[in-house]
Structure 1
Amino acid sequence: MDRTQWENNEEIEIFRQYLRIPTVPPNLDYTPCVEFLKRQAASLELPVEVIYPVNNTDPVVIMKWLGSQPELPSILLNSHTDVVPVFRDKWSHDPFNADLDEEGRIYGRGAQDMKCVGTQYLGAIRALKASGYQPKRTVYLTYVPDEETGKYFTMRKLVQGVFKEMNVGFSLDEGMASEDESFAVYYAERTLWHLHLKFSGTAGHGSLLLANTAGEKLSYVVNKFMEFRKSQVQRLADDSTIDIGDVTTVNLTQIKGGVQSNVVPPVLVAVFDIRIAVTVDVAAFEKQIRDWCEEAGGGIELDFEMKCSPVHPTKIDASNPFWMAFKQALDSNGLKTRVRVFPATTDSYHIRQGGIPALGFSPINNTPILLHDHDEYLGAQTYLNGIEIYKKLIPAVADA
């Protein structure tokens, strides 16, 4: 296809319309987004409901495709409507204009993360319904806010309430682009901690060599973290079969404290972003951190801004019929896959926490990974190919 054909393609146009709706929190008016999704549901003759599980500003749009055996556990096709902020001066295209260039690249915030998936679901269902297909299991499409804020209030509420009423048995959600011909499938996520370490020590004049200062303690513990970080970097360098999701990442993101250059402060604070690999004993890892703090001289408080609990990965073996159906659908179409642990956190973490098996998958290959980056784009043909993939995947899991 050439640019004119892509511009005249109905599915491409729907995708571009979605990208043009600026859904950047906070203080976001979701009305245009909700109206867009309601129009899509009407065009597919799918019942649609808009609910507000957390507050009256963050809506969840739920579409329902009734199955022939609705008593069976249902299938969830989840996506989030919010996107991250942009630095407009870093973009070569307006991030909310959905420009299509001569090479077929569609530029827009959310092109990969993850408005593409939200409308690819719709494109696949449009084609499946036109063919006369009806799923055995009821299929729900959920469009949720607040994923990009990192709060996940909405998803937690849905898992605790509405999803039980919907009898959700399996979920598909976002993955990431792949830069080679394979497709990444994510069956688990690392455990996220945002840890504040508060170092208390002797205060006084900057000309003295005081004992047990906050700075000395901070230096000791930070060095221990950096040594551990270096070991994880080395693991990646030594083993080509693993990637970033298979190791524990530790990053010092903030240091706070002090009043002026000649005063030794009584308190310093160091903030770490920690993503713990699924193979790590989380309790033992926390004990190691507390031991480092004691070795540094004590007087160090651990304050977890966020302390997620470990969640069991989704089974990717014969015990999970949804996985078997999903994998068979990809294999039978000659698509190469790589099973991975997602390096960051998505709504799937909370879905799995609720006991629902979930896979993260975005049908994007041979594409640079540009989520949260400047000039985020997705190729038009890659987008259309994704619809074709979902035309195979949705019936596979819905009839499992």
Structure 2
Amino acid sequence: MADAQALEEVVAFTRDLIRFDTTNLGGGDGNERAAAEFAAERLAEAGLEPAILEKAPNRSNVVARLEGTDPEAPALLVHGHLDVVPAAAADWSVDPFGGEIDADGMLWGRGAIDMKGMDAMMLAAVRSWAREGVRPRRSIVFAFVADEEAEADFGSRYLAEEHAEKFEGCTEGISESGGFTFHSDGMRIYPIAAGERGTAWLELTARGRAGHGSKRNPDNAVSKLAAAVARIGAHEWPLRVTPVVEAAVAELAALHGVEPDYEDLSGLGAAAQLVESTLRNSANPTVLEAGYKVNVIPEHARAEVDGRVVPGGEAEFEATMDGLCGPDVQWRYAHRSRSLAAPVDSPTFAAMRAAILKHDPEGRPVPFCMSGGTDAKEFSRLGITGYGFSPLALPPEFGYGTLAHGVDERVPVEGLRFGLRVLDDFLLNA
């Protein structure tokens, strides 16, 4: 049980971490060093031996192992990222890196939800165990990683490729995007992620004949590309219901007193948001680039598409993109990561359910699949099955999905303390 000091530390550590500007601009532009040193110092004070690992200067990761009481039990990975997406101060009501706590008990700042609050829970929990002289049954590897908000080159991918020995014995892992309160029809639902769609970021290119804008030109690269982009944007992808999504819809339908209906999710109320983006593959055009002057037809045009792929949907995705692009537009993967699926009938999933219900007996934990992805994709290369479980209590007016990466990101102080209690209970009993 997290002690009184831990309940104060989780708030203080979240504030401290927010105040480190760990903005990740992509392309290698980021700096997690100060936050990593802070985490390493807190772990060392609890008797662990953290290692700071870097692929490049200041792109820092921290890894530490705590041996459990049962040497035969498989180890558990608990990971959180230290970097955050950019925050334009002019758009915020407060300094996004100020870590302010207002009169209503809200802690403001970039990363409050995504995911410095979880990082703080990890630190507070292990320190509480050191003070109480307790250890979890399973050995736990704690990882605080860089570069999750880009392509993980300096973070989890680097760790999986170059420091696999640090994760020896880990069979499962937990991280962000699960275990938070989602309100629907008066119920407090706690979605626990047991899957992720794969990432398929695409670059599309078209070539044609350059020429004067006043002349007829049937070989126009812009027209070819625009037609393909329009087809992609309008495409209706077929249903591809995976076991995790099937379980999610079944449980949500039962909670709402309706029969499962994948084509019409309205009976699930607000909870439809938890599954609607994971029933099929998707591809959304996001970038268009072509030309430099209105009276010049360019020789080439370029677009980017954000594709997401359900587990097992890779072949369908590629064949569909071939057809939608046609012979005049070429596409390639600019960035690709695997889809994930984890069992929802495992002892670990049951322990996550139990931890939530212990601290909110009227809560409704359910499985779901993330529409996006996390560092669990990279750690899966090591055979580690990933779940999304960063518990957090949120009031009805809060939207986890809108505040993460959003303007005025903030978290209730009491929500962090609830999350610490749940996480502490799960880790000690998993």
With the length of structure 1 as denominator, give the TM-score of the two structures: 0.86
Over residues 347-400 of structure 1, what are the superposed CA-to-partner deviations in whole Å (9 max), with x where a residue is unaligned? 011122432111112212333221111111000000111111012110222xxx
Q: Displacement, 1:237?
A: 7.8
Aligned to 1:377: 410
In 2, the alpha carbon distance for the partners of 1:223 and 1:145 equals 36
Q: Is 2:430 the counterpart of 1:368?
A: no
- The match for 2:336 among 302, 307, 318 is 307
Q: How big is the shift at 1:214? A: 2.0
Closer, same or farther: CA 220–32 of 1 in aligned 2, 3 Å: closer
- Tell me by how many angstroms 1:164 deviates: 4.0
Contact 2:39 2:123 in 1 (8 A): no
How many residues are treated as equivalent by the alignment?
382
| Residue in structure 1 matched with residue 193 of structure 2 by the alignment | 186
> Structure 1 pair 332/277, CA: closer, same or farther in 2 (3 Å)?
same
Q: Please state if 1:254 is matched with 2:287.
A: yes
Q: Does the aligned pair in 2 maintain the 1:49–1:62 contact within 8 Å?
A: yes
Distance 1:374 1:381 in 2: 21
Pair 1:274 & 2:307 matched: yes
1:355 to 378, 383, 393: 383
Task: Tell whether the 8 Å contact from 1:74 to 1:170 is kept in structure 2 after alignment.
Answer: yes
- Do the aligned partners of residues 197 and 14 (structure 1) sit closer, same or farther apart at CA in structure 2, a change above 3 Å counting? closer
Match of 1:224 in 2: 231
Shift of 1:98: 0.8
Paired AA for residue 112 in structure 1: I
Distance in 1 separating the partners of 2:299 and 2:10: 61
Query: Which structure 1 residue ranges, 4+ long, deviate > 6 Å from structure 2?
Result: none
Relative to 1, partners in 2 of residues 1:323 and 1:377: Cα closer, same or farther, differing over 3 Å?
same
The SS at the match of 2:11 is helix
State which drifts further: 93-102 or 242-251: 242-251
Q: CA RMSD in A?
A: 2.7
Distance 1:146 1:169 in 2: 23
Quote how far apart the aligned CAs of 1:25 are.
3.3
Q: State how far apart, in whole Å, the 1-side matches of 2:232 and 2:92 are.
A: 36
Amino acid at match of 1:118: D
Q: Aligned pair in 2 of structure 1 residues 189, 312: CA closer, same or farther (>3 Å)?
A: closer
Instruction: Report deviation, 1:31.
Output: 4.0
State the match for 2:100 in structure 1: 99
Residue in 1 that maps onto 2:325 = 293
Instruction: Note if 1:112 corresponds to 2:113.
Output: yes
1:330 aligns with 2:356: yes
Q: Distance in 1 between matches of 2:262 and 2:221?
A: 33
Contact 2:232 2:324 in 1 (8 A): no
Shift of 1:134: 1.8
Distance 1:164 1:211, change over 3 A: same
User: For residues 208-258 of structure 1, what are the alpha-carbon distances to aligned partners after superposition, in whole Å with 9 as ceiling and x for unaligned?
Assistant: 3332422332233122212215889xx988324532233433222111122
Distance 1:212 1:341, change over 3 A: same
The answer (yes or no) to whether the contact 2:228–2:329 under 8 Å persists in 1 is: no
Q: Structure 2, unaligned stretches of length 5 or more?
A: 240-260, 267-271
1:64-123 Cα deviation digits (max 9, x unpaired): 222123354211110111111110011111111111111100001110010100111222
Matched, 1:205 2:212: yes
Q: Deviations over 1:13-63 (max 9, x none)?
A: 2221222121123555544323321331133222222222x2233222122
Residues 162-197 of structure 1, C-alpha deviations (whole Å, 9 max, x = no match): 344532121111115544222221111111112111
The verdict on how the C-alpha distance between 1:231 and 1:113 changes in structure 2, with shifts beyond 3 A counting, is same
Which residue identity lines up with residue 21 of structure 1 in the other structure? Answer: F
Choose from 45, 48, 51 the match for 2:47.
Answer: 45
CA distance in 2, matches of 1:263, 1:119: 55
Q: Give CA deviations for 1:241-285 in whole Å, capped at 9, x if unaligned.
A: 532233433222111122321222222112111112336x31122
**Amino acid in the other structure paired with 1:33:** A
Contact 1:185 1:361 in 2 (8 A): yes
1:21–1:312: structure 2 CA closer, same or farther, 3 Å change rule? closer
Task: Report if the CA contact (8 A) 2:107-2:412 is conserved.
Answer: yes
User: 2 CA distance for matches of 1:122 and 1:151?
Assistant: 22
Which deviates more, 175-184 or 348-357? 175-184
Contact 1:152/1:347 (8 A) holds in 2: no
SS in 1 for 2:330: strand
1:311–1:353: 8 Å Cα contact kept in structure 2?
no
Match of 2:138, SS state, is coil
Counterpart AA for 1:342: M
What CA distance in whole angstroms lies between the structure 2 residues aligned with 1:211 and 1:86?
44
The corresponding residue for 1:88 is 89
- Aligned-pair identity (%): 24
Q: Judging changes above 3 Å, is the alpha-carbon distance between structure 1 residues 145 and 336 closer, same or farther for their aligned structure 2 residues?
A: same
Letter aligned with residue 301 of structure 1: Q
Hey, what's the Cα distance between the residues in 1 that align with 2:19 and 2:334?
A: 34
Residues 316, 353 of structure 1: CA spacing in aligned structure 2 closer, same or farther, 3 A cutoff?
farther
Contact 1:246–1:278 (CA under 8 A) maintained in structure 2 = no
Q: Does 1:127 align with 2:128?
A: yes
Contact 2:201 2:335 in 1 (8 A): yes
